[in-house]
Amino acid sequence: MRPTVHDIASRAGVSLATVDRVLNRRPGVSARTREKVDQAVHELGFVRDVAAANLAKGRTYPLTFIIPSNDNSFMRGLRVALDEARVRAGVERIAIRLVDVPAFDAAALAMALRAAAAAEPAGIAFVAVDAPEVAAAAAEIVAAGIPLVTLVSDLSGAERDHYAGIDNAAAGRTAASLLGRFSGGGKGKVAVLAGSMLVRDHRERCEAFAAVMAQDFARLSVLPVLEGRDDPAVVEQMVSGLFSGLEEIVALYSLGAGNRGLVKALERVPARLRPVVVAHELTETTRGALQAGLIDAVLNQDAGHEVRSAIRVLKAKADGLSVVAAQERIRIDIFLKDNLP
């Protein structure tokens, strides 16, 4: 049987209340008493029963998620995942508050972060824009002792407790290898399509992609990055432009969102000119394109996993507990037409 507070109390020769005060680092205990209790905890290998504690406290964890009000499939998927988490909110003793911010707007995000922190939630998760003012706000929050997790896109520096998202450099490298090996042995141009170089995940994917292309596939030359702001209409125009030009584009890496526009444009490219395409995020659009042979591989991050992971981590941090690291690593799913779920 696991030891309980009673065991600690009698072992240390104090009352339950005192044990509780020590366990929860509340003031009003003499150094000597504190020591006795700590000793007993240590000797007995006591681990407090979080479920019982929560029951006694009637505790719920108010969590705030700050998400860009970007209308693309991935962000919508993220919202769906949050809604699903809300369904289980009662059982998991969490209460999720969703805050929208304009996309790619560092100032707005910093403000939203401060506003969220003012409500003193048990934890905050946010999609980072990698800018100094955001980092400053994040640092304040961490300093205030509120658990803070970046979601999908990370923040440079260490001003957060955890990052719930994929390794974007690995994603970029993987995209490069797949594109390079899928595109046969010939020469040609490779187009790269991003949302915005202001977000760290896009920048990291892009840089890693370019590095591997240069190193392993020198026969392919990478064209300057196009920024489509994750907007389908913009993306469509850009891609159409690419294929009406004279350059021979043999491959295309779409590392951002807005793939609806990409697919529309690809559909109009004559079959014999169609490039090898790797895109990000499995949505209705990319799934269809994969099956139709317009896209060759999709790299995906599972928004549901990211949300659940962020929640687990925030709760654990709030309780001062450690997490199962392997469980919280967000994997890069690689989908071909053959392994669609």
> Which parts of this chain interact with DNA (CB under 7 A)?
1-2, 4-6, 13-21, 23-24, 27-30, 32-34, 46, 48-49, 52-53, 55-58
If one asks whether residue 91 binds a second copy (CB under 8 A), the answer comes out as: yes
If one asks whether residue 54 binds a second copy (CB under 8 A), the answer comes out as: yes
Rounded Cα distance, 9 and 20, in Å:
9
- Options 35, 43, 84, 120; binder of a second copy; rule CB under 8 A: 84
Angle at Cα 269 formed by Cα 264 and Cα 272, nearest 5°?
Answer: 145
Residue 20's binding partner out of DNA, a second copy, none, with CB under 5 to 8 Å set by partner kind? DNA
Contact between 19 and 13 (Cβ < 8 Å): no
Nearer to a second copy, 143 or 326 (CB): 326
Which residues, 6+ apart, have CB-to-CB distance to 157 below 8 Å? 135
Residue 80's binding partner out of a second copy, DNA, none, with CB under 5 to 8 Å set by partner kind? none
**Interaction pattern, residues 28-47, with a second copy; x per rule: CB under 8 A:** -------------------x
Which range binds a second copy by CB under 8 A, 129-137, 244-252, 281-289, 297-305? 297-305
Rounded Cα distance, 160 and 162, in Å:
6
User: Is the torsion defined by CA of 115, 118, 121, 123 positive or negative?
Assistant: positive
- Options 13, 132, 184, 241; binder of a second copy; rule CB under 8 A: 184
Token pair for 335: 């989908």
**Interaction pattern, residues 313-332, with a second copy; x per rule: CB under 8 A:** -----------x-xx-x-xx
How far apart are CB 328 and a second copy at their closest, in Å? 11
Token pair for 295: 């896209």
Residue 182's binding partner out of a second copy, DNA, none, with CB under 5 to 8 Å set by partner kind? a second copy
Residue 246's binding partner out of DNA, a second copy, none, with CB under 5 to 8 Å set by partner kind? none
Nearer to DNA, 15 or 291 (CB): 15
**Interaction pattern, residues 151-180, with a second copy; x per rule: CB under 8 A:** ----------------x--xx-xx-xxx--
Nearer to a second copy, 105 or 333 (CB): 333
Nearer to DNA, 46 or 65 (CB): 46
If one asks whether residue 333 binds a second copy (CB under 8 A), the answer comes out as: yes
Which residue ranges make up the site for a second copy (CB under 8 A)? 2, 47, 49-52, 54-55, 84, 88, 90-91, 167, 170-171, 173-174, 176-178, 181-182, 184-185, 212, 296, 302, 304-305, 308, 324, 326-327, 329, 331-334, 336-341
